[in-house]
C-alpha cells in the first residue's frame, strides 16, 4: 500500500465528504481499512450507500462499514448512527452468503433505532420532492433523529428490556397520533432481528477509548457530506445528522481533535447533489433540479441519448466515453452538458437510483468546507471529464464573497468561473503526480491556492490502485 509519508505518526484517520455526498468515500474507506485495526462509522443510517466489491461482485452496503471485507478488523456501528435492524440483518445475510466473517462487528448500545413509524412519516412528509418534500431517501432518518433530539428516541439497549421499551413507546405514541403504534406488535416483528444482533451489542464508546489507549489504528468512515450536515449544510435541505468531522468523530465516541488526519473528499472538477436544495454551480439549475426529481433513472437517459448498454443481474454496463456522451459533455446547452457529465460519471444514486444533479466544482464551497473539515483533500473522479474540451471551477458569485447558508442568496447567485483546457489522455494508469496532464496539475495547484488546502491524493479511477499521491 503506497501512502508515502502521510501516515507517519498517524493513529486516527477520518474519511469525510466535503460536498453533498457521493464523492467516492467508499473507495478510500476501503483503501485505508487495510491500514486500520478499527473501522468505525458515526453518523446516518441506511440513507447512505457505498459500493463494495466482494468476490468480484458489486454489493451496495448501507450500514456496515467497508472494513468488513478486510480480515480481522473490528467494525463499529457507532453511537451517532440510526439503525434499521431489518436492513442490518439483510446485510449480515449477504456477508454470510459470501463467506465473509462478521464476528468482529460491534453495534453501539447507544445508537438509535429506526422504527416503522419513522419510515412511514418520512415517506409521507419528506421523500417526495414533487409534493414539496426535501427529497429524502425515505428511510426514516429525519423522524428518527427528531425523536432522538426530542428525548423520546429508542436506543439499541432499549430493545433488550421489554418494560423500558413499552414505557418509551408510550411517549412516542403522543407524538404520532396518526400512526397505529403498538409496542407488542413492533417488538414481535423485531424479535428475530434483535436475536440476530444481540451478540454484537457493545458499549462502543468505552471500547474505542480503550482501543485508542492501546495504540490501535482507527479509521472513521463518514457518511453523506458537509453540505448536507444539519449543522453546516444548506438547511433545511440537509440530512438530520452532523456529517462534518465534528459529528462524525462524536458519533463514534471521539472528539474531532482526536483525529490526526481528517481527509476531506472532493469530486473534481465536477460535483453532484441528490434531492432538493440549493446547488448554485449546477448546470442549468432550474431545469436540472426539476428534471432530476421527475423519476427518471439511468435507463431513461441511456435510451434517450442513444447510448448502447447491456444489463445483467441489474448491473448496467455502457461505455462512459461513448461519442454521444462526449458530445453531450461538450454541448453549448448547459442542461445537456449536465446530462453528459452525469452519464460520464455514472452519477445515479446507490441507494435510490435517482439521477444526481451535476455542476462544476464550487471552490467557494470548498473553502468553506476546509474551514470546518481541515485542509487535507482527496480529489476523486478526475478521469471522468477526459475528452471534455474544457473544465471549470466556480470561483465566486455575483452576490456572494464567501459561502453562506442563506437560501435566498444561494437561489439567485450567478457563478463566475475559472476555465482550464481539457485533456484527452487516459490518466487511469498514471501513478505519479508529475505525469498527470499539465492543465490538470495547474488546476490542482490553483485550487490549493484558492481554498488554502493541501491536495494529498488524486483518484484517477474506481480501482484501489488507481490512486496518485501528491
Ligand atoms: P435523508 O438523509 O434521507 O433525510 O435525506 C435528506 C437529504 O440528504 C436528501 O436530499 C437526500 O437526497 C440527501 N442524502 C441523504 N443521504 C445521502 C447520501 O448518502 N448521498 C447523497 N445524498 C444523501
Ligand atoms: Mg453514496
Q: Which three cell numbers stand for residue 325?
A: 456522451
Active-site residue, selected from the candidate residues 17, 30, 37, 50: 50
CA-based nearest residue to 397, from 311, 296, 258, 285: 285
User: What one-character DSSP code corresponds to residue 191?
Assistant: H
Residue 353, pLDDT above cutoff 90: no
Tell me if 25 sits within 8 A of 265, measured CB to CB: yes
Give the H or E element holding residue 220: strand 218-221
2 pLDDT band, cuts 50/70/90, is: low
Topology alike, domains 12-108+200-265 and 113-195 = no
C-alpha 285/C-alpha 98 separation (Å) is: 42
Which residues, in sequence order, are bridge partners of residue 199? Answer: none
Q: Which ligand is nearest to the CA of 29?
A: 2
Q: Which fold has domain 12-108+200-265?
A: Adenylosuccinate Synthetase; Chain A, domain 1 (3.40.440)
Query: Pocket around ligand 1: residues whose beta carbon is below 6 Å from it?
Result: 21-22, 47-49, 134-137, 139, 141-142, 224, 228, 239-240, 274-275
CATH of 268-469, one of 3.40.50.2300, 1.10.340.30, 3.90.170.10, 3.30.457.10: 3.90.170.10
pTM of the model: 0.95
pLDDT (0 to 100) of residue 1: 57
Atom in ligand 1 nearest the alpha carbon of residue 138: 3
Among the residue ranges 32-46, 180-194, 203-217, 348-362, the one predicted with the least confidence is: 348-362
Percent of the chain predicted with pLDDT > 90: 82
Separation of CA 318 from chain center: 24
Any catalytic annotation for residue 50?
A: yes
CA atoms of 249 and 230, how far apart (whole Å): 15
User: Which H or E run includes 108?
Assistant: strand 105-108
pLDDT score recorded for residue 38: 98
Q: For residue 25, which ligand has an atom nearest its CA?
A: 2
Alpha carbon of 71 to ligand 1 centroid (Å):
30
CA angle 115, 118, 121 (to 5 degrees): 150
Q: How far is CA 95 from the centre of its chain?
A: 21
Strands 467-469 and 454-459: antiparallel
Ligand 2 centroid from CA 359, angstroms: 17
**Which tops the pLDDT comparison, 412 or 250?**
250
Within 8 A by CB and 6+ apart from 279, the residues are 20, 273, 285, 289, 357, 359
Mutate to test the pocket of ligand 1, among 23, 47, 128, 221 (most ligand atoms within 8 A of CB): 47
Q: Is the pLDDT of residue 176 over 80?
A: yes
Q: Do residues 108 and 210 lie in contact, with contact meaning Cβ atoms separated by under 8 Å?
A: no
| Per-residue confidence band for 132, with pLDDT thresholds at 50, 70 and 90 | confident
22 flagged as catalytic: yes
Exposure letters 372-387 (e unless 16+ CB within 10 A, then b):
bbbebbbbbbbbbbbb
Average pLDDT of the segment spanning 298-327: 93
Fold of 113-195: Adenylosuccinate Synthetase, subunit A; domain 2 (1.10.300)
pLDDT band at 354; cut points 50, 70, 90: confident
Residue extents of the structural domains in the chain = 12-108+200-265, 113-195, 268-469
Mean pLDDT score, 122-149: 90
Q: Which of 126, 239, 289, 350 to mutate to test the pocket of ligand 1 (most atoms within 8 A of CB)?
A: 239
Ligand having the closest approach to the CA of 50: 2
Which comes out higher in pLDDT, residue 70 or 295? 70
The conformation of residue 212, written as its DSSP 8-state character, comes to: H
Residues with CB under 5 A from ligand 2 (ion): 22, 49, 350
Amino acid at each position: 500500500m503506497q501512502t508515502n509519508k502521510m501516515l507517519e505518526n498517524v493513529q486516527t484517520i477520518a474519511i469525510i465528504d466535503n460536498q453533498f455526498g457521493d464523492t467516492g468515500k467508499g473507495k478510500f474507506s476501503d483503501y485505508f481499512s487495510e491500514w486500520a485495526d478499527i473501522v468505525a462509522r458515526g453518523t446516518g443510517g441506511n440513507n447512505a450507500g457505498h459500493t463494495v466489491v466482494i468476490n468480484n461482485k458489486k454489493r451496495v452496503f448501507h450500514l456496515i462499514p467497508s472494513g468488513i471485507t478486510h480480515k480481522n478488523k473490528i467494525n463499529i456501528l457507532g453511537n451517532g448512527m440510526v439503525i434499521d435492524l431489518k436492513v442490518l440483518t439483510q446485510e449480515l445475510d449477504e456477508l454470510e452468503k459470501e463467506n465473509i466473517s462478521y464476528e468482529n462487528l460491534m453495534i453501539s448500545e447507544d445508537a438509535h433505532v429506526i422504527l416503522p413509524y419513522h419510515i412511514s412519516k418520512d415517506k409521507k412528509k419528506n421523500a417526495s420532492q414533487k409534493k414539496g418534500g426535501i427529497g429524502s431517501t425515505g428511510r426514516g432518518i429525519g423522524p428518527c433523529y427528531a425523536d432522538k433530539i426530542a428525548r423520546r428516541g429508542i436506543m439499541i439497549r432499549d430493545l433488550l428490556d421489554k418494560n423500558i421499551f413499552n414505557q418509551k413507546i408510550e411517549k412516542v405514541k403522543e407524538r404520532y397520533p396518526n400512526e397505529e403504534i403498538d409496542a407488542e406488535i413492533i417488538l414481535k416483528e423485531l424479535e428475530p432481528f434483535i436475536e440476530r444482533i444481540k451478540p454484537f451489542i457493545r458499549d462502543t464508546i468505552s471500547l474505542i477509548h480503550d482501543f485508542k489507549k492501546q495504540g490501535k489504528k482507527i479509521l472513521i468512515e463518514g457518511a453523506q457530506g458537509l453540505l448536507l450536515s444539519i449543522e453546516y449544510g444548506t438547511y433545511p435541505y440537509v440530512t438530520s445528522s452532523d456529517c462534518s468531522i465534528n459529528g462524525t468523530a462524536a458519533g463514534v465516541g471521539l472528539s474531532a481533535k482526536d483525529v490526526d488526519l481528517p481527509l476531506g473528499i472532493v469530486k473534481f472538477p465536477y460535483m453532484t447533489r441528490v434531492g432538493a436544495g440549493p446547488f448554485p454551480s449546477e448546470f442549468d439549475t432550474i431545469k436540472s433540479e426539476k428534471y432530476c426529481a421527475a423519476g427518471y433513472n439511468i435507463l431513461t437517459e441511456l435510451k434517450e441519448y442513444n447510448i448502447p448498454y447491456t444489463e445483467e443481474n441489474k448491473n448496467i454496463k455502457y461505455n462512459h466515453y461513448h461519442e454521444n456522451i462526449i458530445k453531450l459533455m461538450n454541448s453549448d446547452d448547459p442542461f445537456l452538458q449536465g446530462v453528459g457529465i452525469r452519464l460520464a460519471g455514472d452519477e445515479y444514486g446507490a441507494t435510490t437510483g435517482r439521477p444526481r444533479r451535476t455542476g462544476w466544482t464550487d471552490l467557494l464551497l470548498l473553502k468553506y468546507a476546509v474551514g470546518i473539515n481541515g485542509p487535507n483533500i482527496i480529489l476523486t473522479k478526475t478521469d471522468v471529464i477526459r475528452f471534455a474540451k474544457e473544465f471549470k471551477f466556480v470561483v465566486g458569485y455575483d452576490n456572494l464573497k464567501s459561502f453562506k447558508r442563506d437560501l435566498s442568496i444561494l437561489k439567485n447567485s450567478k457563478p463566475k468561473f475559472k476555465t482550464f483546457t481539457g485533456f484527452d489522455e487516459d490518466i487511469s494508469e498514471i501513478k505519479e503526480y508529475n505525469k498527470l496532464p499539465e492543465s490538470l496539475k495547474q488546476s490542482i495547484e490553483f485550487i490549493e491556492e484558492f481554498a488554502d488546502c493541501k491536495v494529498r491524493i488524486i483518484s484517477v479511477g474506481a480501482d484501489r490502485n488507481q490512486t496518485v499521491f501528491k
